[in-house]
Amino acid sequence: MMRGAEFAELRAFVAVAQERSFRQAAARLRVTPSSLSHVIRTLEERLGAKLLHRTTRSVAPTEVGAALLIRLLPAMTEMEEAVEEAGSFGDRPRGRLRLNLPRLAAEMVIVPRLAQFTRLFPEIALDLVVEDRMTDMVAGGFDAGIRPGGRVQGDMIAVRLTADLRPAVFASPEYLASRTIPVTPSDLSAHRCINYRWPSSGAPYRWQFGRAGETLEVAVEALHTINDTGMIIAAALGGAGIGYLLEDVIVDYLAAGRLVRLLDDWCQPTPGFHLYYSGRRHVSAPLKAMLGFFRYEPLPILAPA
């Protein structure tokens, strides 16, 4: 029979292997990094095998560690869900909710209502991992994720969180002052473009356009390619070229006149952000609370008087 200390060692290993960081895993488990490192060394000595590769900058499972993680994850997940379910029978939902989401979703959906959510559910601890790359939610140990509706995996349950999103093509007035303004997507070939590169695949983003039933996906000849949306905005503000991002990211710069919209009639709405989770897993009380709180409910359309 497994002793309590041995279970704690395995739980610590799973946290470090998932987070790929002793510091982040220690914060997740609410222990110090030094004590966590000691627990992992004790586990490795007990098993007689090295489980983690450690450098000053990264942590990754060894071949033995990766195999152990695959075997442990389902059992650990099942036990954590059972504990959460047992705890949910109290007056208020409680427990940790781990979400993976892109930066824009964090800024648009979560942060503006985080204080209100915390007041209503003070015993739910949110663990937000903000990254723009697509992540395998289940393999990463996440309870749920937030992504645009069109990019939600087919085997997931998705709940809408926002209205549709609209892309925007933009440049600074200074860049456009001495250049011909593009009228169609094909005109972009005569301009300096600043494109986004997906962190996960390294592939440049293909700009999507649509008008009057016609859809286009353009692989622009980008002069500059950047994997950070903030830097794309900064480059465009400095006159480096034309960018393409979601409208919500640059709305303040458009209102202030620091950026100018281009090809407006070619930029059609795309599916808004959805919260998605595996339909094969137990829905914990904290996740149920979030689903009810953040669910998008459009205003009714009133008939004219």
Residue 68 burial (10 A CB sphere; 0-12, 13-18, 19+): buried
Of the candidate ranges 162-176, 210-224, 228-242, 255-269, the one whose mean pLDDT is the lowest? 210-224
Task: Work out the angle at residue 213's Cα, subtended by the Cα atoms of residues 211 and 215, and round it to the nearest 5 degrees.
Answer: 65
Average pLDDT over residues 117-144: 85
Give residue for tokens 């620091």: 258
pLDDT-derived band of residue 304, with 50, 70 and 90 as boundaries?
very low
Of the candidate ranges 114-123, 228-237, 290-299, the one whose mean pLDDT is the lowest? 290-299
Confirm if 41 and 16 have CB atoms less than 8 A apart: no
Rg (CA), the chain: 23
Q: What is the pLDDT of residue 128?
A: 93
Q: What is the pLDDT of residue 153?
A: 66
C-alpha 21/C-alpha 30 separation (Å) is 14
- In single-letter form, the type of residue at position 29 comes to L
pLDDT-derived band of residue 4, with 50, 70 and 90 as boundaries?
low
Q: What is the pLDDT of residue 56?
A: 76
220 φ/ψ angles, rounded to the nearest 5 degrees: -70, 150
Dihedral, CA of residue 157, residue 161, residue 164 and residue 169, to nearest 10: -110
Percentage of the chain beyond pLDDT 90 is 48
Confirm if 241 and 235 have CB atoms less than 8 A apart: yes
pLDDT(241) > 80: yes
Of the candidate ranges 26-35, 136-145, 285-294, the one whose mean pLDDT is the lowest? 136-145
Confirm if 271 and 247 have CB atoms less than 8 A apart: no
Confirm if 246 and 166 have CB atoms less than 8 A apart: yes
User: What are the beta bridge partners of residue 261?
Assistant: 170
Q: What is the pLDDT of residue 296?
A: 78
Higher local confidence (pLDDT), 158 or 298: 158
Q: What is the pLDDT of residue 141?
A: 80
- In single-letter form, the type of residue at position 271 comes to P
User: What are the beta bridge partners of residue 216?
Assistant: 209
Coil/strand/helix, residue 133: coil
Of the candidate ranges 30-39, 135-144, 168-177, 261-270, the one whose mean pLDDT is the lowest? 135-144
Average pLDDT over residues 118-132: 91
C-alpha 251/C-alpha 286 separation (Å) is 33
Domains and CATH numbers, the chain: 1-87 (1.10.10.10), 90-163+273-297 (3.40.190.10), 167-266 (3.40.190.290)
pLDDT-derived band of residue 2, with 50, 70 and 90 as boundaries?
low
pLDDT tens per residue, range 164-181: 999 999 999 999 998 999
The DSSP code for 110 is I
Q: What is the pLDDT of residue 305?
A: 42
pLDDT tens per residue, range 72-81: 888 877 776 6
Q: What is the pLDDT of residue 300?
A: 52
Q: What is the pLDDT of residue 297?
A: 67
pLDDT(42) > 80: yes
Confirm if 272 and 161 have CB atoms less than 8 A apart: yes
- In single-letter form, the type of residue at position 249 comes to V
Q: What is the pLDDT of residue 5?
A: 75
Task: Work out the angle at residue 164's Cα, subtended by the Cα atoms of residues 159 and 166, and round it to the nearest 5 degrees.
Answer: 145
Average pLDDT over residues 136-152: 79
pLDDT(201) > 90: no
